[in-house]
Each structure stands twice: as C-alpha cells, then as structure tokens.
Amino acid sequence: FLYVSLFRLKDLEVAKLGDSDVHVKMLAAPINPADVNMIQGTYAILSPLPAVGGNEGVGEVLEVGRRVTALKPGDWVIPAGTGLGTWRTQGVFPQETLLKVPSDIPVLCAATLSVNPCTAYRMLADFETLAPGDSVIQNAANSGVGQAVIQIAKASGIKTINVVRDRPDLPKLVERLMALGADHVITEEMLRKPEMKDIFKSIPKPRLALNCVGGKSTTEMLRHLQPKGTMVTYGGMAKQPVMVPVSAFIFRDVRLRGFWMTQWRKDHAQDRESLASMMDTLCQLIRKGQLTAPACTEVPLQDYKTALEATMKPFTSSKQILLL
C-alpha cells in the first residue's frame, strides 16, 4: 500500500480553453490494474510527474473552443488513448484526445467502456475466426475483461470456459458469472482433472485461449487448446512467465500471441472506421442489455485512498469507480 501514499488530492486551476480544446466535467472514472502499474512504475507508458492518475472514465462537455466541430456542450466523452488523467473533477483537453459516446447508456458502462470491453472485443475478433458454437477458454474470468468476454461471446453464440482462482465465496462468484452468460466456470485446480473431458462432450475444444495470469494456470489452460489454436496473453497477474511444453509447439502447432489495447489504438490511429465500428457494436450491446458494467463499487473522489487500497486486495471482484 506504499503507492497510496504517493497520492494527494489537490485543487488546480483549470487551464485556459484553446481554439481546439474541450472543457470537460468528469462524471466517473474507474481504477484499473494498469493505473496501479503506472503508479508503481512498472507499466510500458509512464506519465511525466507530477501527473493526474487514471486512464479511463466518462465526462460531460461544458464548453468547446471555436475550432471544435465534432463536439458540443452536453455531449459525453471518453479518452481516445492512454494517459489522459481522468481522476479529476474537470479538465481542458485537446479535442483529438476525446471520443464522443452516446449519453443514453448508463454512466458506469460509459466510464468502463474504453479499456476492458474494447480489449475483450478485439481479442475475440482479431486472432481466430470464431463462429457460433465455437468455444473460448480464459483465466481471470472474473476480471473486467473476463466479464466482458463472457457477455460479448454469449451475444455472438460462442461458448466460454471460465477459469477462476479457488476462494472462500466461490459458489457466489460462479453464480454471478453464470448469470452473465458463462457456459462453464471452473477453478485452476480443475484444469488438471479428468472431469474436464465431460465439458468437451457438449462443446468443442477451444481454438482461442485468453491469458491474463501466467505461470501454472496458463500452462494447464494451454493443454486444452485445439491443435493450431491461439493463446493470447494480455496480462500477467501471477507475475510469473508463460511456460509452454515443447510438445505443444511441435505436435499441436499452437500459436502464442500478445495483445495490448494501447498499441492497437496507436496502430489504428488513422483508421477511424474500425474504432467507430467497435464502439458502435459495444454501445448497441449495452443498449440491448447484453453488455453491462463490471461489478462496481462507487466511491466519492475524497475517499480515493480507500478505493486504491481496495483495488490492491486479492480476490477483488468489484471494480472501484471514483464518482467525480
């Protein structure tokens, strides 16, 4: 909890509104693992200090500079990239750092839209061509990305096998993930058990595995992948390397890939079309009730220390959201 002491709540002057700037009143912003990694100095992008924390959130436009045409007061906006510094009540940002989102979706859905659901969407779409009836296996299934994977897959008719760590309130967690549309929820220990065969009587072996843990959990998950299947790593919560038996490469020709949403955004900076179509699809799922915000705990900005400490606790199944 050393990192919590690096934070201060400060009153700052709001910058002057330039011709291409947008004055935003922030509404809500989550605390994500990547935000904590940035504070720890272990993330691939680090903001020059002193910095405002937070890479994600939703705000309402109060005022726009005279050259701004795409946004108007009353519009809702989310960050277009990383490092915006969303843990604040107000800010003035260049218009190209913001994306407009519909204001008829729930505020918590908008606040948590730009990182986890986008990551889930891209990983399901970009590595394997999945059809209804196909299956996906993932670990850390109760994470924000994991919950989004379950719901987006369900809406597309794709079956999910969801791996979670054993914990005191396991039945409650299983029930919650099943309610989101999970087909199977199992513990890491069960990955090694013969009962796994029973699961594959009713659904095909997965062609896609999503890994956010590393270590033994990943090696065990990989054993259930179809030949020529792909495992995508997007996190390393166990802080252990991904270990792959040589036989998986030689005899099953599995592919190992990585994914980082920030990199995808950089690579597609000129391709507004694919970003717009992804956002549109996600917002439609939200409107239909097929994609909800992850389990959230709403915390006033003044209580940011409590929220940061809660984020660092093991077995957290609720995302801390700062209300601004």
- Catalytic annotation on 43? yes
Q: Which residues contact 112 (CB under 8 A, 6 or more apart)?
A: 30, 56, 144, 293, 294, 296, 319, 321
> Please, which residues bridge with residue 299 across strands?
322
**Which of 214, 43, 222 is CA-nearest to residue 140?**
214
Cα 324 from Cα 24, distance rounded (Å) = 12
Short-list 225, 266, 262, 226, CA closest to 242: 225
* Separation CA 288–CA 282 (nearest Å): 10
Catalytic residue among 3, 43, 121, 234: 43
For residues 108 and 62, give the distance between their C-alpha atoms in angstroms, rounded to a whole number: 20
Pairing of β 90-94 and β 319-323 = unpaired
Locate 150 and state its tokens. Answer: 């379950």
Q: Which strand (E) or helix (H) includes residue 174?
A: helix 170-180
Q: Which residues are catalytic?
A: 43
